[in-house]
Amino acid sequence: MELTFRDPAGELRLTAGFALRRVRPNAEEETQAFLASPLRSSLEQSGDLISSRVADSGSHPCVISGEFWLEHPRLDPISYPWEWTTAQWRAAAELTLRIAGHAIDAGWTLKDATPLNVVFAGPRPMLVDVLSFERRDPRSSVWLAYGQFVRTFLLPLVAAKYLSWPLRATLFDRDGYEPRQIYDALPRWRRLNPDLLDVVTLATLFERPGPKRSGLKQSSGFKKTSLTTDPALATHLLQKRISRLRGQIQNAAGRHCDSQWSRYEQSAVHYQPTDIEEKQQFVRRALARCQPKRVLDIGANTGTYSLLAADAGATVVALDSDTAALEVLWRTAAKQNKPITALVVNIARPTPAAGWRNREHFSLLDRLNGGFDLVLMLAVIHHLILREQLPLAHIADLCAGLTRRWLLLEWVPPSDPMFQEWLRGRDDLYGHLTESDLTHAFAPHFSVIERAQLGNGRVLLLLDRTSDRISERTSDRISIEDSAEQIADSPREEGITA
């Protein structure tokens, strides 16, 4: 699948296990120099940069003999910035600044600085575009990617903090926000806030009309200004700018918010301690029985069961629509170095395909379907029924598309306090639902293998796919990969995130 069309230096293709990057002749010399540099080696060793090696046609049929291709590991699932928490956004920004600082000291510069160049491998951000590096003029004190960094990293955080614009809205602004957008939306008294004065107010008041920026990157021959005669001074000025941006990012992303769901485990009165213990023991038994390598936790909340799955040896993708709750999980996973990728999404309204011709960014379901050995849906189905008005049969079909074999459900009966709270007078529609209705709806796809009822009336079910359905899903997965080979078009900034 060919994925890039914006980058004059190369193109990217995804295969089942790798990301293959063709480097065009005009960028070969610069890329070879970077690959041979101590900077590349140190960034790969630290885990800040995706690993690269020269690809050959013997291993990859799409590689053409005589051309220069690189092989990178494929990171799944791809995560997009509009699916990150504030803390993840900050981590990606700090990664970019850290790499930019190292590059400056090593005689290089990072010519692209956008969140679309970063993918989360578990809880850790990683730069995935090796073509973003170029050798810098040692006398220049200008970081050409400064404006892009401010628009795409800093201003979305500023807008989220001071205007409550959700980070997920950046889906519609590929090149970030302009200072004037923020300035016009701010009340007048807030425009003089010291945190906004530089990047918003003064940037707006002193902006000069000129040619509009194009979506293409600056060419390597761009005429650099602000030259000094002292390379040491130029390096010092660049590092001061990087340091200032780091402080601005920390300030803009510094606020930590709570929500109803981020405190759910402490406030959930419908679980007694014995219920919680029984539930966790059931999940542990299921994990020991299924031994999944990849787990999808839908409605992960603060991550109790994602962490159990990770402790059992699985890599985990954790989904939740509550940013504050998921941020707790991401921070925990990052602190404990657990293989958990956290995505802020609503499974009932999944992230759509987006970008040019809807081919630059894959939809959430395209990235997830058929990719997991076990799917957890603990205390989620009643949300989908009552808040999204989804029929049980449709929920079953979704689950069948996501898991290769196992599904662990928690059924919340209509008598449950949370079910009653959300029922809101719709007893005739949903008040009659039973566990039998659930198992009947899931029967075309799954068989119940184990059942346990908690003291609070909730029911835990471990379900298994039938063998014929597993074969069908495997064929569907192969079909998706094959059809993906026909898709072209995705941005250079996305690197492996296309």
Same domain? 275 vs 424? yes
Say which residue, 11 or 408, is predicted with more confidence: 408
Distance between CA atoms of residues 59 and 391, nearest Å = 46
Domains in the chain: how many in total? 3
Residue 345 lies in a domain: yes
Distance between CA atoms of residues 460 and 278, nearest Å = 10
pLDDT of residue 243: 97
CATH number at residue 296: 3.40.50.150
Same domain? 352 vs 369? yes
Residue 439 lies in a domain: yes
Which pTM does this prediction carry? Answer: 0.87
> What confidence category does residue 381 fall into, taking pLDDT thresholds of 50, 70 and 90?
very high
Kindly tell me if the per-residue pLDDT of 227 is higher than 80: no
Distance between CA atoms of residues 374 and 309, nearest Å = 10
**SS3 category, 351:** coil
Kindly tell me if the per-residue pLDDT of 475 is higher than 60: no
For residue 289, give the nearest of 374, 411, 403 by alpha carbon. 374
Q: By residue range, what is the domain housing residue 203?
A: 81-207+224-252
Same domain? 23 vs 70? yes
Same domain? 274 vs 148? no
Give tens-digit pLDDT for 341-360.
999 999 999 999 988 888 88
Same domain? 69 vs 195? no
Distance of CA 1 to the CA centre of its chain: 21
Same domain? 236 vs 288? no
Residue 246 lies in a domain: yes
Kindly tell me if the per-residue pLDDT of 120 is higher than 90: yes
Distance between CA atoms of residues 360 and 132, nearest Å = 19
Residue 485 lies in a domain: no
